[in-house]
Amino acid sequence: MSIYDPAATGRHLNIPEAIAREEGWNLTPPARCRRNCNPGNIVYGKFAEVNGGSLETGPEPRFAAFPDAPTGFAALVALLGTSRYAGKSLSNAIENWAPPVENQTSQYLANVCTWTGLTPDTIIDGYLGQESPAVSSEAS
């Protein structure tokens, strides 16, 4: 059972969990975000570095790699709490997070809404969680 599957857990996901699922966190074999302990596929830069990330290794490094899943989820929650996302609707936040130039943004938003039980107009503050409930036991 995946902790990021609302049907299996019987509960809605918080926004970071839904983003992790959409980014491929629970795929087998592990997706890039899981290998990097970076559930949001946060691009490497000053923010990622301050939050415990380093530049991923391998071909075409672009994303941050975090030392473990709890650190990666904490960085995702912290980034969603910055002025770029805080106070925004879920629709606006996802449009910034997963822009149409590199994502199927409308499908991304639809999936996040389904998994969280939220509407596109919901303000994201209050739906971020402090840490995903089972991160330390199953996701690391």
| Predicted local distance difference test score (pLDDT) of residue 135 | 41
Give the C-alpha separation, 20 to 28, whole Å: 14
Which residues neighbour 112 within 8 Å (Cβ) at sequence distance 6 or greater? 15, 18, 19, 22, 90, 94, 118
Neighbours of 32 (CB within 10 A): 16
Give the C-alpha separation, 84 to 92, whole Å: 10
In this predicted model, what pLDDT tens digit does every residue of 64-80 receive, in sequence order?
Answer: 999 999 999 999 999 99
| Predicted local distance difference test score (pLDDT) of residue 133 | 42
Give the C-alpha separation, 124 to 25, whole Å: 21
| Predicted local distance difference test score (pLDDT) of residue 137 | 34
Averages of pLDDT over each 10 residues, the chain, 140 residues = 63 92 93 96 98 95 97 96 96 96 96 94 88 39
Give the C-alpha separation, 24 to 22, whole Å: 5
Question: pTM here?
Answer: 0.87
Which residues neighbour 4 within 8 Å (Cβ) at sequence distance 6 or greater? 13, 17, 18, 20, 21, 25, 26, 115
